[in-house]
Amino acid sequence: MDKWHGGSKYEIGYEPSGFVAGSGQEFLLHHLTSSERNPVLDWGAWRGRNLSVLRSLGREVVAVDGPWARQATIGLENFVEVQRFSQLPFPDDYFSAVLSWRVLHNMHSVQEIMASVRELRRVMCLGAPLLLAVRVAEGDEPFPVKILNGNGNGGKREDFYFSENSLRDYVLWGSFKIVETHRIEEGEMVDGMAVMNRYIVAECLAI
């Protein structure tokens, strides 16, 4: 068991949150096109929660996650297991789009987040969209903040949360430019802090 997913049930496509599996899939359909030739990267594919949408586009999809997702991703075409998101086994300028669905807050450190974002930029084509689902905390903190959250097993874990400022001016700065932010009504209280869900479209910049 890993630090995040504990005793969770592994099923292809299973995802209890409508934020991820409902309105999120509509968001993906709107921002992905079937005309691009380069593949799409599902960065942190987990249970294959977006698999049905990606298949409907007729696009080649490469799914990436860690060893904890091995069982969950049985049946996913082109699943690549990685030890670090900051070290991807793909050439430069390879993907025409990347989706990252509630991945960044699970990382261990700000340094890991930054290195992983730079690595995403390396493997993406210039101008390609990065489609993010993130948990955004209220306030204007300039850097990612760690707060305690429930781990689903009665315990606590440390998660990262981001203000919109920290995403734009710190996490993505220099690699991506945010071009759209969609405020999703669903939210939650975590350690006394209001945390809202956001869908973000960021454009891949020239290095």
Q: What fold is seen in the domain 18-204?
A: Rossmann fold (3.40.50)
pLDDT digit string, tens, across residues 20-59: 455 677 788 888 876 677 888 989 887 677 777 777 777 7
Q: What is the pLDDT of residues 84-117, one digit of tens each?
A: 889 999 999 999 999 888 888 888 888 889 999 9
Distance of alpha carbon 171 from alpha carbon 2, whole angstroms:
25
The residue ranges of every structural domain in the chain are: 18-204
Q: Is pTM beyond 0.85 here?
A: no
Kindly tell me the number of DSSP H helices and DSSP E strands found in the chain: 5, 9
Q: Both tokens of residue 91?
A: 């050439």
